[in-house]
Amino acid sequence: MGQLETINYLYSLSGLFVGLLVGMTGIGGGSLMTPILILLFGIHPETAVGTDLLYASATKTVGTGVHSLARSVDWTIVTRLALGSIPATALTICGLALLGPASHETSTLITGVLGGALFLTAAALLFRGTIVRMYANHIGELGYQRTSWATTLTGFVLGALVAVSSVGAGALGVTALLLLYPRLPMVRIVGSDIAHAVPLTLVAGIGHWLIGSVDWMLLGTLLIGAVPGIIIGSFMASRVSEAILRTLLSVVLAVVATRLVFA
């Protein structure tokens, strides 16, 4: 096996691994794939983010299909999130285009925001229960109108964060929805978060493509492993310990974030 074939095999294997995690937990797309591309394969940060966004859009489309069949998507929540995330994504992409996608400033910005987003994601995974309890004790359930506006505002923040780093639509989105919709079953929280990630990552990915930061060959190789991975992971979601997965994933993300920020 030549060097190129070996690298492509490793790309597909990485896609399979991340796809399984996305299917089982709704988390792990940008949080793992972008750092893997940057740290393990030496892909430039802007190309890693742009390619990963389209990778996430494709894989989460498959996941959304599975969750839709299981009737575990709340489309009202998805719409509320998208009303904030899509405009924020478009504005952020315009800002990156003005900076220049291949500039040192853009690479520094992406790496810094990615590291910070990974730390937040790790904290959200590890301390989700504590965060939810504190929120319930001090704020509690919001009214219909305030919940609607807060969901759209959440979408706006996620849109900007995802457009820069490709991270945030998973663990951070799920945690925010748990706070805003405490009566909603966890499976519908995850399903709605995955469904919202589809338009968000698609718009952000197209934006990155337009400014020249997508590697199509890399994308195709990743998807070879990711598509079967997310299908298998989605059906395994009810058969694995979410608590163990979240703990392990949070530790890995904290280590990766430290490597990115202090490299």
pLDDT digits (tens, 9 = 90+) for 98-117: 887 667 777 788 888 888 88
Give the angle subtended at the CA of 87 by the CAs of 35 and 71, to the nearest 5°. Answer: 75
Please state the rounded mean pLDDT for residues 138-150.
Answer: 84
Indicate whether 4 pLDDT > 60.
no
Contact 222, 12 (CB under 8 A): yes
**In the chain, domain spans:** 30-262
Q: Is the dihedral of CA 200, 246, 45, 12 positive or negative?
A: negative
Per the listing, tokens 């301390």 go with 127
Q: What is the CA radius of gyration of the chain?
A: 17
Residue 207 near residue 163, CB atoms below 8 Å: yes
Tell me, what's the pLDDT at 204?
A: 93
Structure tokens at 173: 């989105």
Compute the CA torsion angle 173, 177, 180, 185 (nearest 10 deg).
-170
